[in-house]
A and B are shown apart, each in its own frame.
Chain A
Amino acid sequence: MSETLEEFKNSFYYGSRSDLSFKFLKNLPPEVAAEAIRQILEAVVTSFDTGEVTELHDLVIRWQVDAYRPAEGSQRKYVYDDAPFVLPGKPLKESRVGLMTSSGHFVSGDDPEPFGVKDMTQREAEDRIGEFLRETPTMSTIGRDIDAADLRLRHGGYDTRSALEDFNVTFPRDALLAARGAGRIAEVADPMYSFPGAASQGRLRKNVLPRWVEMLHGAAIDVLLLVPV
């Protein structure tokens, strides 16, 4: 079976070669995707001799930047002229800091069960990404002192391999606790929050965002750290 370059590069985007770290290849024209792949392979070979992989990582990151950047003149939906801004009401060292991520973490026994599916796998979440993008996201609350063994993760929109190895890659609970230990902040708010950010923007804004804002005020959070993934 022959395969065009177009089909090949697109197969990394939820296709036969699905790899969410390389799904960006779909955004590139075929000849540009080919050049990206050539450069990445060249950097792999260079690393054989140098033992240095930082350049290779930087190269992949640069291609991600290029591929996700909106095309010039493209219609953009969420562009705002105004920038909301309030100053913190108290010094950081006296502040209670909240954490909210779009990493898709949840607690064992408290699975949000998207579409009513019990124990949905990561693979199924990726396969159903189109449905997630039309749905209202569910917020999970996560106890600040949760054992890593009780933390679960499912998200159809990003490569979860690193976060499965170390949740702090996308859900920096330990770093926030270390900041508290160092006296930089007064307290880490309990619970913390996570939701799968691949969701309907309209439904998020209309159906849940007002409740989430109310919830944060109810938790007496002074400042909120956000980690999109």
Chain B
Amino acid sequence: MCHVSVGHVARAVEESGIPTAGVYVSAFRFVAEEMNLPRTLITHHPFGRPMGPVGQPDRHLEVVMAALSLFESADRGGTVVEMPGRFAPG
């Protein structure tokens, strides 16, 4: 339900004039698609770990940078982009 809640936030904030981008794990990609969210980055990470493994600041930064790039690359709502890379702790 969290992913739907954030979907409502994304739609309302975007409609108010502030661009948004969301980081969704692949298990909830369908929520981003059903709700037609403005910009979505999909990470192939487990539920509950959207930014990546514990103690991996480089992976977290990669994800943030990819999400930020959507503000430059997306030219329409409903943009969904898959983040490369697997969940690789350690």
Contacts and interface: CB of A to CB of B under 8 A. Distances in A.
A197 interface: yes
B8 A229 contact: no
A146 interface: no
A114 to B, nearest CB: 15
A45 interface: no
Contacts, number: 240
Given A209-B8, A216-B18, A162 B57 contact: no
Interface residues on A, range: 35 or more
A116 to B, nearest CB: 22
Interface in B31-89: 31, 34-38, 44-55, 57, 60-61, 63-65, 67-68, 71-72, 74, 76-78, 86-89
Contacts of B68: 92, 97, 179, 184-185, 225
Given A92-B72, A102-B6, A209-B8, A61 B46 contact: yes
Contacts of A137: 5
A167 to B, nearest CB: 10
A174 B60 contact: yes
Contact of A209 (B12, B46, B65, B74): B12
A89 to B, nearest CB: 8
B34 A162 contact: no
Contacts of A49: none
Contacts of B78: 83, 85
Size class of the contact patch on chain B: 35 or more
Contact of A61 (B26, B64, B72): B26
Contacts of B49: 162-163, 169-170
Contact of A228 (B16, B26, B28): B28
Interface string B6-36: 1111111111111111111111111100111
B48 to A, nearest CB: 4
Interface of B: 1-31, 34-38, 44-55, 57, 60-61, 63-65, 67-68, 71-72, 74, 76-78, 86-89
**CB-CB nearest 7 A-B residue pairs:** A83-B77, A197-B2, A85-B77, A228-B6, A83-B78, A197-B5, A84-B14
21 contacts: A20-B47, A54-B86, A58-B44, A65-B26, A70-B30, A80-B36, A83-B37, A83-B77, A88-B71, A92-B72, A162-B49, A169-B48, A169-B50, A175-B63, A201-B1, A205-B12, A223-B19, A228-B2, A228-B3, A228-B24, A228-B28
